[in-house]
């Protein structure tokens, strides 16, 4: 293979970051840590969706491998997630696994189309308070989900020595993860913590909850399977709503996680490429008996905090997860859940945007409200897509309201008796009422100039407002001139002429109404 070809492949797979060559040892060890942490999460999410544990593990393998190789954000980890599990739960209970697999495939196709149509750029419309709220809500979810590990199989809180030993092991794990990086970063602190706690439990003979107590992780290579469903219009009507919701939830969570990793690593991922990769991964996940998924913020942060920055760590995590399933299930089932619980609690602490708490007296009240609302919806409803959509809508309404109040009109009469209205601020649907109130049609002189040098006509409502005000002046026999309309405003008026009666373009009285910019 030529050196040019090798360079292109190396650049594509991005096995090094933008500033330095990749540390392969760190990537491999980080991938191993993530693989271990993936197992209880994948099993738990499969059980939430009322599916077999292997369904979640197969999804974690396929999703992680495909997105690590082809995704738009090196270092980000994908797999089975709680957000997806909640979406498909009702479908799983009412129609079974075959319909779930078909839904996963259809959701993947929708995500691929979103990436091809370059809809990833819509994430630019998500304001910072929404991102803060989303991240904080996820941190609360990650933390609260670990509380279940402090309960027994019957759902009762652990008591006595069982509780004390479990809590002590969790605290040991957290102490190692917190303290080891201050001494050395040669090996991931999470992996050291897991192995240390495993050693303590094994050699001291401590009776504590293990991965095997949750479910068996023993299995083979993911079997290829085309969903056994009738390919009819009725079937499409059943799975399409679930697929659309799953696709949107997956993309929102994945792209917001991508943005978070971008901030941490001070690099920039590719949202549209990630959308295509997520879609392809879901399609293959459905074909290989997996429940589908999306980016996992917890495991991604474990990976990044362990020093991984490239694709290799995600590939190692996925491959090692499959190795564990096929060849080392007995050993993985011996891992203490206390170690994994401590790891995830530290992830939740690291995920929470503590800096957002210091903005309460500095940010606008509307931004604080949006941030808190998104946090609460994310944390308590576990509906990430709904939380983000609500936050974006409220932020947009607040923005529209603030801009609606900014429309101003400076009024003056020149030496020739012509009245000038100098408009300031954007003219759009929210400001048209205030705009119309600025004019005194009956008492104005016979000639009026409306100057838009400091304003812009933005939408159809604004065009209609201009049309109405010129019509009001025309009915009382007065002339109106519109000055300093920008090219985009002029084009908007011209295009709208075929839809509504725009006086300034149609009425002979206003043939000279649009003056060119000086």
Task: Provide DSSP, 137-183.
Answer: HHHHHHHHHHGGGGB-TTSPBP-HHHHHHHHHHHHHHHHHHHHHHHH
**DSSP bridge partners of 208:** none
* Mean pLDDT in residue range 7-34: 65
92 Cβ contact partners less than 8 Å away, ≥ 6 residues apart = 49, 50, 51, 99, 100
Percent of the chain with pLDDT over 90: 28
Distance, in Å, from the CA atom of 260 to the CA atom of 188, rounded to the nearest integer, reads 20
Taking the alpha carbons of 28, 32, 33, 34 in that order, is the dihedral positive or negative?
positive
* Mean pLDDT in residue range 258-276: 88
Residue with tokens 């995600």: 314
pLDDT of 110 reads 95
Please count the helices (runs of H) and the strands (runs of E) in the chain.
20, 6
Q: Quick one: residue 480, left, alpha or beta (phi over 0 = left, psi -120 to 50 = alpha)? A: beta
Q: What is the pLDDT of residues 75-117, one digit of tens each?
A: 999 999 877 887 888 899 899 999 999 999 999 999 999 999 9
Q: Does 182 score more than 60 pLDDT?
A: yes
255 Cβ contact partners less than 8 Å away, ≥ 6 residues apart = 120, 123, 271, 274, 275
Confidence of residue 12 (pLDDT cuts 50, 70, 90): very low
* Mean pLDDT in residue range 4-15: 46
* Mean pLDDT in residue range 364-382: 84
* Overall size of the chain counted in residues: 518
What 3-state class would DSSP assign to 442?
coil
Q: Does 311 score more than 90 pLDDT?
A: yes
* Pairing label, strands 447-457, 479-483: parallel
Q: Does 8 score more than 90 pLDDT?
A: no
Element (H, E) at 449: strand 447-457
Q: Show the tokens assigned to 358.
A: 């210091």
Q: Does 18 score more than 60 pLDDT?
A: no
pLDDT of 385 reads 67
**Which strands, in side-by-side order, build the sheet including 447-457?**
408-413, 419-427, 447-457, 479-483
Confidence of residue 514 (pLDDT cuts 50, 70, 90): very low
Quick check: 341 and 146 in contact, CB under 8 A? Answer: yes
CATH tag for 408-510 (out of 3.60.110.10, 3.30.750.24, 1.20.120.1460, 3.50.50.60): 3.30.750.24
Average pLDDT in the chain: 83
Q: Does 51 score more than 80 pLDDT?
A: yes
Distance, in Å, from the CA atom of 44 to the CA atom of 38, rounded to the nearest integer, reads 10
Local structure of residue 122 (DSSP, 8 states)? G
Q: Does 518 score more than 70 pLDDT?
A: no
Angle separating helix axes 97-116 and 271-287, nearest 10 degrees:
160
Quick check: 58 and 290 in contact, CB under 8 A? Answer: yes
Closest CA to 139 of 36, 39, 257, 251: 257
> Please, which contacts does 119-124 make with residues 24 or more away whose CB atoms are closer than 8 Å?
119/251, 119/272, 119/275, 120/251, 120/255, 120/270, 120/271, 120/272, 120/274, 120/275, 121/271, 121/272, 123/255, 123/256, 123/259, 123/271
Residue 409 phi, psi dihedral angles, 5° rounding: -140, 115
Q: What is the longest distance spanned by two Cα atoms in the chain? A: 100
Domain ranges of the chain: 19-148+206-371, 408-510
**DSSP bridge partners of 451:** 422, 483
């Amino acid at each position: 293979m030529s050196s040019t070809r090798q360079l292109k492949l190396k650049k594509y797979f991005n096995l090094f970051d933008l500033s330095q060559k990749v540390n392969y040892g760190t990537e491999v060890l980080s991938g191993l840590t993530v693989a271990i942490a993936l197992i209880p999460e994948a099993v738990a999410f499969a059980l939430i969706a009322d599916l077999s544990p292997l369904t979640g593990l197969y999804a974690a393998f396929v999703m992680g491998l495909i997105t690590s190789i082809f995704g738009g954000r090196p270092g980000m980890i994908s797999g089975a997630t709680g957000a997806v599990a909640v979406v498909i739960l009702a479908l799983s209970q009412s129609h079974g696994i075959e319909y779930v697999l078909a839904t996963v495939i259809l959701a993947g196709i929708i995500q691929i189309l979103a990436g091809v149509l370059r809809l990833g750029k819509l994430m630019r419309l998500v304001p910072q308070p929404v991102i803060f709220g989303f991240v904080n809500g996820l941190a609360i979810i990650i933390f609260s989900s670990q509380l279940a590990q402090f309960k027994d199989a019957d759902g009762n809180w652990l008591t006595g020595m069982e509780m004390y030993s479990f809590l002590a092991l969790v605290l040991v794990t957290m102490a190692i993860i917190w303290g080891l990086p201050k001494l050395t970063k040669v090996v991931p602190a999470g992996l050291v913590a897991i192995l240390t706690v495993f050693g303590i439990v094994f050699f001291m003979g401590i009776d504590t909850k293990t991965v095997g107590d949750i479910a068996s992780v023993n299995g083979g290579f993911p079997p290829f399977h085309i969903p056994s469903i009738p390919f009819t219009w009725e079937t499409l009507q059943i799975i399409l709503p679930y697929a659309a919701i799953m696709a949107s939830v997956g993309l929102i969570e994945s792209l917001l996680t991508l943005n978070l990793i971008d901030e941490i690593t001070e690099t920039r991922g590719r949202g549209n490429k990630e959308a295509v990769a997520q879609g392809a991964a879901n399609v293959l996940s459905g074909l290989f008996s997996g429940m589908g998924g999306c980016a996992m913020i917890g495991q991604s942060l474990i990976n990044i905090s362990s020093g991984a920055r490239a694709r290799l760590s995600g590939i190692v995590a996925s491959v090692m997860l499959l190795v564990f399933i096929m060849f080392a299930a007995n050993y993985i089932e011996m891992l203490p859940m206390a170690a994994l619980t401590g790891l995830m609690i530290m992830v939740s602490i690291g995920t929470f945007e503590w800096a957002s708490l210091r903005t309460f007296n500095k940010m606008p009240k509307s931004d604080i409200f949006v941030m808190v609302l998104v946090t609460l919806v994310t944390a308590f409803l576990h509906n990430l897509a709904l939380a983000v959509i609500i936050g974006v809508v409220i932020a947009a309404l607040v923005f529209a309201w603030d801009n609606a109040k900014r429309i101003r009109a400076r009024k003056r009469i020149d030496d020739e008796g012509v009245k000038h209205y100098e408009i300031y601020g954007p003219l759009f649907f929210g400001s048209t009422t205030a705009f119309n109130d600025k004019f005194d049609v009956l008492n104005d002189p016979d000639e009026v100039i409306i100057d838009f040098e400091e304003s812009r006509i933005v939408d159809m409502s604004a065009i209609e407002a201009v049309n109405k005000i010129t019509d009001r002046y025309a009915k009382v026999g007065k002339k109106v001139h519109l000055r300093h309309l920008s090219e985009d405003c002029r084009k908007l008026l011209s295009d709208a002429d075929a839809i509504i009666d725009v006086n300034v373009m149609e009425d002979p009285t206003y043939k000279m109404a649009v003056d060119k910019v000086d």
